[in-house]
């Protein structure tokens, strides 16, 4: 049985559940808001496999030691709880589940705190790009208006401005209207990056399998151009594919959504980020379910004790994750 932890209101989670049902695989679902409202969680910390989740709905309860693998997209839902008591329970359950999923000796796709640098974009980029062997756009994270102004002037093809962290912000092309806003940096830094003009690429990597699409958009941030983007499957260059495989091995997260830009003039690839909780359903539909099949294959494959996916060796930061 596969244990699925997430939110019924998360379209990506629902998409994954549909794939499990269509494949006729046994699974149990824990909807985290339902767990906070009506369910219960007990964790013997010296025997994590005896962890019991009472789901709070008709599914009853799940013992971790009885599941084959865990598929999770956890979010801390405490901020949206209807009452303070429920918020406290949701927060406590989220923290506890993330600790357990990091430490338990089971295949987990993905341990929620393992790729921690996603919360700090520039650290994330300079840490992971060398693993893949990739370039990144020249970047400047600063609260100094003069430094920002000088960086903008050093980017002849334009500068993109975005938030420094995991909270969703739109990548925006720096224009003359932003000059007046630069003094505000003194109170809140921002991340500036040289503009790379060309298509975006999203690669979904499941262990050693990868599925790539190029995204041609009229907008700087393709996520803002609803209905106007052109998506096309893409054969990955071997070096990029090998880099993606190294990245999942290095981060010990079996499923990543890796973002690139391709310079239209030079053809050079630039690494942007790797999302450990990607919203992949649209890409999966266009790929005729190939990403889902790879995820299900991973969840049902034997993972020997001591494989990089289980029996973790290191620690992760405590934070709230957001899907991207």
Partner 1 sequence: MRIAVTLLVLAPSDDETARMFCAFAAERGHRAVMPQGFNEVCVTVTSGRDASYHVDLRVDGEPVRGVLHRGIGAPGGEDGDAMFAHAEALAVWWSALALWQGPVVNRATRQGFLPSLDPLLLARVPGVALPPSSLGRPLHAAAPAERVNVHRERDGMFLGRDTEAQVPDEILRFTLFDPDRVRYVLLAGDRVFEPSQTGGIPSSATRSALAPLLDRLRSLGADFCLLVLEPTGAGWRLLHVSALPTYHQFEPVLHLVFQALLDRLPAGQP
- Please give the residue ranges that form the binding site for partner 1 (CB under 8 A): 40-46, 48, 79, 85-86, 88-89, 91-96, 99, 102-103, 113, 116-117, 119-123, 125-127, 129-130, 135-144, 147, 151, 163-167, 186-189, 270, 312, 314-319
* Residue 272: CB atoms within 10 Å: 23
Q: With respect to partner 1, which residue has the nearer C-beta, 42 or 228?
A: 42
Which structure tokens are listed for 52?
């019991």
Smallest separation, CB 233 to partner 1 (Å):
27
Which structure tokens are listed for 27?
């699974």
d(CA 77, CA 36): 9
69-72 vs 2-6, strand pairing mode: parallel
Smallest separation, CB 102 to partner 1 (Å):
7
Smallest separation, CB 223 to partner 1 (Å):
17
Q: With respect to partner 1, which residue has the nearer C-beta, 270 or 283?
A: 270
Measured in whole angstroms, the distance separating CA 47 from the mean position of its chain's CA atoms is: 29
Q: With respect to partner 1, which residue has the nearer C-beta, 28 or 87?
A: 87
Q: With respect to partner 1, which residue has the nearer C-beta, 26 or 183?
A: 183
Q: With respect to partner 1, which residue has the nearer C-beta, 129 or 247?
A: 129
Smallest separation, CB 38 to partner 1 (Å):
13
SS (H, E, C) 57-81: CCCCEEEHHHCCEEEECCCCCHHHC
Pair 107, 309: CB distance under 8 Å: yes
d(CA 208, CA 173): 35
Smallest separation, CB 295 to partner 1 (Å):
25
Query: What ranges in 170-256 are assigned the alpha helix state H?
Result: 176-179, 238-251
Smallest separation, CB 147 to partner 1 (Å):
5
Which structure tokens are listed for 210?
């990868």
Q: With respect to partner 1, which residue has the nearer C-beta, 31 or 102?
A: 102
């Amino acid at each position: 049985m596969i244990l699925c932890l997430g939110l019924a209101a998360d379209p990506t989670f629902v998409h994954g559940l549909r794939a499990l049902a269509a494949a006729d695989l046994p699974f149990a679902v824990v909807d985290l808001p339902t767990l906070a409202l009506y369910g219960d969680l007990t964790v013997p910390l010296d025997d994590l496999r005896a962890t019991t989740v009472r789901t709070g709905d008709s599914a009853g309860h799940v013992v971790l030691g009885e599941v084959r693998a865990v598929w999770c997209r956890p979010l801390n839902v405490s901020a949206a709880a209807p009452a303070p008591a429920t918020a406290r329970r949701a927060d406590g359950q989220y923290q506890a589940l993330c600790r357990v999923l990091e430490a338990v000796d089971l295949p987990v796709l993905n341990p929620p705190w393992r790729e921690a640098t996603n919360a700090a974009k520039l650290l994330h980029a300079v840490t992971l790009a060398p693993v893949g062997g990739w370039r990144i756009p020249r970047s400047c994270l600063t609260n100094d208006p003069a430094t920002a102004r000088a960086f903008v002037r050093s980017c002849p093809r334009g500068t993109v401005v975005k938030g420094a962290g995991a909270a969703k912000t739109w990548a925006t092309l720096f224009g003359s209207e932003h000059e007046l806003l630069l003094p505000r940096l003194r109170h809140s830094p921002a991340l500036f990056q040289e503009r790379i003009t060309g298509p975006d690429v999203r690669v979904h990597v499941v262990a050693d399998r990868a599925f790539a699409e190029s995204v041609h958009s009229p907008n700087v941030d393709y996520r803002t151009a609803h209905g106007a983007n052109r998506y096309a499957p893409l054969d990955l260059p071997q070096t990029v594919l090998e880099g993606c495989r190294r990245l999942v091995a290095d981060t010990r997260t079996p499923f990543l959504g890796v973002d690139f830009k391709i310079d239209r003039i030079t053809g050079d690839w630039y690494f942007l980020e790797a999302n450990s909780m990607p919203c992949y359903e649209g890409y999966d539909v266009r790929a005729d379910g190939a990403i889902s099949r790879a995820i299900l294959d991973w969840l049902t494959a034997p993972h020997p004790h001591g494989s990089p996916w289980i029996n973790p060796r290191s620690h992760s930061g405590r934070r709230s994750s957001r899907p991207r």
